[in-house]
Amino acid sequence: MSARQFGFIGLGRMGAPMVANMLAAGIDVIAHDKAGTAQRAPAGAEIAESIAEVARQVDAIFICVPDGTASEEVVDLVTGTRECSVSTIINLSTTGIAAADAIATRLTGHGIDYIDAPVSGGRAGAVAGTITIMWSGTKPLLEALRPVLATFSKSAFFIGSKPGQGQALKLINNFLSAMAMTATSEAMIFGESKGLDMKTMLDVINVSTGQNTATSDKFPNRVVTGSFDAGFRMALMEKDVALYLTELKTAGTADRLARALAEYWREGVEAFPDGDFTEIFKLVKDRVV
């Protein structure tokens, strides 16, 4: 890439630390967030008052916003910019497959290469620069941008050439993450009902076949400690599980577990609308009669 600067749209819990890591590596970034760029932008970022201001100055724009609707709004503002200089959009958001397809179609005829590149790792990974990128789109561009991606990502995988394939893998990942968190919650509560100590259960499971990301990370670090601060909102996990269930229905593949899981997370959002996704444990515990 020959960009003097990279644009970055979305400076929330994930986007802001990604930009901070890019800046720390000496990469110029011009940033915008509709919630208030000056308040959210890391020190050293150039502040843009609008998406159009970004689009007139850079070759490549990263997007990191909550969902597909927000992503489509950003893309429409980019393509509607007069004297737009953007040739590449890399969307790090979880949009769902249908939205990724729609955005790619929207960009047809605009001379802009669209990369569907959702990420995993949560805020902790964004801060540490260790998130995983699931890249679907032009493979040579991935190789060209690896030095930039490496400033905030430990692993960038080429998933496929079609936008939407990255979304499919991200939804699979988050389905499994949500299932691990929910199933572990049920298991821990059952164990406690039999007089077992949670820490002891986790120690045993983590050197046994039941080990998963909930037992190895979320429970020891967020549930046992009572902090419930994994940095990923309950509402976002509910959205991703719902998107996954929708895609299963479209694909016609098995969805029995996904249906039960989606119900859990709908209840989780109702109980903890602003909560961390690890608080699903509280919901499961409260349901015990």
Range name among 2-11, 15-24, 206-215 with the lowest pLDDT average? 2-11
Q: How many CA atoms lie within 13 A of 58 on its CB side?
A: 25
- C-alpha dihedral (15, 130, 141, 95), degrees to nearest 10: -50
User: Which structure tokens are listed for 77?
Assistant: 């503002």
What Cα–Cα distance (Å) separates residue 157 from each residue in 115, 117, 153, 247? 13, 9, 10, 22
What is the rounded average pLDDT of the residues 26-41?
95
Give me the chain's average pLDDT, please. Answer: 95
pLDDT in tens, 136-172: 999 999 999 999 999 999 999 999 999 999 999 999 9
Q: How far is CA 51 from the centre of its chain?
A: 21
- Amino acid 4: pLDDT: 60
Predicted local confidence at residue 189, as pLDDT: 97
**Helix or strand (DSSP H, E) at 31:** strand 29-32
Instruction: Give the per-residue SS3 of 91-105.
Output: ECCCCCHHHHHHHHH
Contacts of 171 (CB under 8 A, 6+ apart): 94, 96, 97, 240, 243, 244, 247
Give all domains of the chain, ordered by start, each with its CATH number.
6-161 (3.40.50.720), 168-286 (1.10.1040.10)
Out of 34, 170, 199, 239, pick the active-site residue: 170
3-state secondary structure 208-249: CCCCCHHHHHHHHHHHCCCCCCCCCEHHHHHHHHHHHHHHHH
pLDDT of residue 1: 47
Q: 151, exposed or middle or buried, with CB in 10 Å at 0-12, 13-18, 19+?
A: middle
What's the rounded Cα separation, in Å, for the pair 103 and 99?
A: 6
Strand 131-136 versus strand 119-120 pairing type? antiparallel
- 285 counts as catalytic: no
Mean pLDDT over residues 10-32, rounded?
97
Phi-psi region of 169 (alpha: psi -120 to 50; beta: other; left: phi over 0): alpha
Answer yes or no: pTM beyond 0.85.
yes
CA distance 61 to 8: 6
